[in-house]
Structure 1
Amino acid sequence: MILIIGAGLSGLLTAYHLKKEGIPFKVLEARDRVGGRIHTIYKTNEAPVEMGATWFTSQHTYLRSLLEELGISYFEQYMGSKVFYQPSSAQPPQLVTIPNESPSYRISGGTFNLINTLLSTLDTTDVLLNQTVKKVTFEEKSVLVEAKDNFKATKVVLALPPKLWSKNILFTPGLPSNLMNIATETHTWMEDAIKVALTFKEPFWEQENIPATLFSNAGPVTEFYDHCDHKRSAFALCGFINSAYKQLSSTERQEAVIKQLKNTFGSRVLEYVTYQEYLWSKEEYTFKASEAYIFPHQNNGNPIFSNSFFTDKLLISSSESALEFPGYMNGAVLAATATAKKIVQAQQEI
Structure 2
Amino acid sequence: MSQPRSVDADVVIVGAGLSGMIAARTVLAAGLVPVVLEADDRVGGRILTEDVMPGVSVELGAQWIGDTHARMFRLADELGVETFPQYDEGETSYDLGGSGVLRENEFHTRFADELAELERVLRRLDELAADVPVEAPWLAPRADEWDVISAGTWYDNQGLSPVARTLLEICTVGILAVPTVEVSFLHLLFTIQTCGVTAELFAESEGGAQTTRFVGGTSEIPRRLAALITDHIVLDSPVQTIEHSTDGVVVHCRGGLVARGRRVIVAISPTLAGRILYDPPLSGIRDQLTQRLPNGSAMKAFFVYDEPFWRADGFNGQLISDVGPARMSNDTCIPGDDHGVILLFLEGDQARTFGRLPVDERRAALTAELVRHYGAKAATPEFYVDGEWSDRQWTRGCYNANHGPHVWTTYGEALAAPIGVIHWASTDTATHWSAYMEGAVEAGERAALAVVDSLP
Equivalence for 2:309: 204
Tell me, in whole angstroms, the C-alpha distance in 2 between the residues paired with 1:295 and 1:142.
34
Counterparts of 1:152 and 1:63, CA distance in 2: 31
Residue 261 (structure 2) pairs with residue 156 (structure 1): no
Q: Out of 102, 107, 126, which is 2:214 matched to?
A: 107
Deviation per residue, 1:96-147 (Å, 9 max, x gap):
1479653521122211111111111122x42112111111111341211111
Once the two structures are superposed, the pairs formed by residues 1-350 of structure 1 within 5 Å of their partners are 1=9, 2-88=11-97, 90-97=98-105, 102-103=207-208, 104-123=211-230, 125-148=231-254, 149-166=257-274, 168-188=275-295, 191-231=296-336, 233-241=338-346, 242-243=350-351, 244-287=353-396, 295=404, 302-310=412-420, 313-347=421-455, 350=456
Post-superposition offset of 1:266? 1.1
Could you list the per-position Cα deviations for residues 150-193 of structure 1 after superposition, in whole angstroms to 9, with x for gaps in the alignment? 22221111100001111x111111112222222222243xx410
Cα 1:202–1:29, aligned 2, differ >3 Å: closer, same or farther?
same
Shift of 1:201: 2.5
Question: Partner amino acid for 2:357?
Answer: L
Instruction: Give the distance between the partners of 1:234 and 1:4, measured in 2 at CA.
Output: 40
- Checking the alignment, whether the CA contact within 8 Å between 1:133 and 1:169 is kept in structure 2 is yes
CA–CA separation in structure 1 for the residues paired with 2:403 and 2:423:
24
Does the 8 A contact of 2:306 with 2:338 survive in 1?
no
- Shift of the alpha carbon at 1:345? 2.3
Contact 2:307 2:338 in 1 (8 A): no
Secondary structure, aligned partner of 1:52 = coil
SS class of match (1:219) = coil
**Alpha carbons of 1:265 and 1:151: their partners in 2 closer, same or farther (altered >3 Å)?**
same
For normalisation by structure 1, the TM-score amounts to 0.88
Q: Deviations over 1:78-101 (max 9, x none)?
A: 12241011104x443211147965
Deviation at 1:53, TM superposition (A): 0.8
**Which amino acid in 2 is paired with 1:8?**
G
Question: What is the CA–CA distance in structure 1 between the aligned matches of 2:263 and 2:450, rounded to whole Å?
Answer: 11
Contact 1:302–1:323 under 8 Å retained in 2: no
Question: How many Å separate the matches in 2 of 1:9 and 1:233?
Answer: 31
**Letter of the structure 1 residue corresponding to residue 103 of structure 2:** L
User: 1: distance between equivalents of 2:37 and 2:74?
Assistant: 26
Greater Cα offset, 152-161 or 335-344: 335-344
- Give the Å deviation of 1:294: 5.5
Check the 8 A contact 2:68/2:207 in 1, yes or no: no
1:131/1:147 contact within 8 Å kept: yes
**Distance in 1 (alpha carbons) for counterparts of 2:213 and 2:314:** 23
Cα offset, 1:247, TM superposition: 2.6
- Residue by residue over 1:55-85, the C-alpha shift from the partner in whole angstroms, topping out at 9 and shown as x without a partner, is 2211222222222222222222112241011
Shift of 1:10: 0.5
AA aligned opposite 2:21: L
Quote the offset at 1:328 in angstroms.
0.9
Q: Using the alignment, how far apart are the partners of 2:338 and 2:222 within structure 1?
A: 23
Unpaired runs of 5+ residues, structure 1, are: none
Q: Distance in 2 between matches of 1:230 and 1:172?
A: 51
Between the aligned partners of 1:142 and 1:230, the Cα distance in structure 2 is 49
Note the C-alpha offset of 1:49.
0.8
For residues 46 and 301 of structure 2, the distance between their equivalents in structure 1, rounded to whole angstroms, comes to: 15
Residue 158 of structure 2: aligned partner: none
Moved more, 38-47 or 150-159: 38-47
Q: Counterparts of 2:340 and 2:315 in 1: how far apart (Å)?
A: 15
Q: Which amino acid aligns with 2:396?
A: F
- The residue type paired with residue 106 of structure 1 is R
Q: What TM-score, normalized to structure 2? A: 0.69
Q: Could you tell me how far 1:210 is from its partner in structure 2? A: 3.1
Alignment CA distance shift 1:210-1:81 (3 Å): closer
> Which secondary structure state, in structure 2, belongs to the residue aligned with residue 56 of structure 1?
coil
Asked if the contact 2:90–2:311 (Cα under 8 Å) also holds between the matched residues in 1, the reply is no
Three-state SS of the structure 1 residue aligned to 2:61 is: coil
CA distance in 1, matches of 2:216, 2:103: 31
Contact preservation (8 Å) 2:309, 2:340: no
Give distance in 2, aligned partners of 1:63 and 1:303.
27
Identity across the alignment (%): 26
Greater helix fraction, Structure 1 or Structure 2: 2
Q: Which runs of 5 or more structure 2 residues have no equivalent in the other structure?
A: 1-8, 109-202
Report which stretch shifted further, 14-23 or 314-323. Answer: 14-23
Q: Is the 8 A contact 1:157 1:314 kept in 2?
A: yes
Q: State the alpha-carbon separation in 2 of the partners of residues 112 and 330 from structure 1.
A: 15
Change (3 A) 1:245 1:43: closer
**Conserved in 2, the CA contact under 8 Å of 1:46 and 1:235?**
no
Spell out structure 1 runs of 4+ moving beyond 4 A.
98-101, 293-296
